[in-house]
Amino acid sequence: ETGVTQTPRHLVMGMTNKKSLKCEQHLGHNAMYWYKQSAKKPLELMFVYNFKEQTENNSVPSRFSPECPNSSHLFLHLHTLQPEDSALYLCASSQVSGGTGELFFGEGSRLTVL
């Protein structure tokens, strides 16, 4: 595996379900990100982890709970979501300091909340 991989690619869940999105990066980067992409809206940065420490929480509702057990893995735990949370959730990684800081993205997890 190379790059950034996200699973599952597609997820349908009810508002009372609990599910998780998984992201793994194979690039040796030290920062990982969750972005939300909704139709006709700009990309929204949700969370940033740098060296496993959360360095940004962009006013995300508590029904989204991130977890970063190590610098290669990032999870987004989902609980009691709303239909408006339906979106493409993108994971990205980058090398902080010493580089140009560009993000490398996974292919996304398409979430539908019924």
Partner 1 sequence: AQSVTQLGSHVSVSEGALVLLRCNYSSSVPPYLFWYVQYPNQGLQLLLKYTSAATLVKGINGFEAEFKKSETSFHLTKPSAHMSDAAEYFCAVRESKTSYDKVIFGPGTSLSVIP
| CB closer to partner 1 out of 50 and 65 | 50
Residue by residue, DSSP assigns 12-76 as: EE-TT-EEEEEEEE-S--SEEEEEEE-TTS--EEEEEEETTEEEEE-S--TTEEEEEEETTEEEE
| Binds partner 1 by CB under 8 A, chosen from 14, 101, 112, 114 | 101
Please report whether residue 107 would count as binding partner 1 according to CB under 8 A. yes
C-alpha–C-alpha distance, residues 62 and 71, integer Å: 23
| CB closer to partner 1 out of 4 and 78 | 4
| CB closer to partner 1 out of 72 and 80 | 72
Residues that bind partner 1 (CB under 8 A): 4, 6, 31, 42-43, 45, 48, 50, 55-56, 88, 90, 92, 94, 96, 100-108, 110
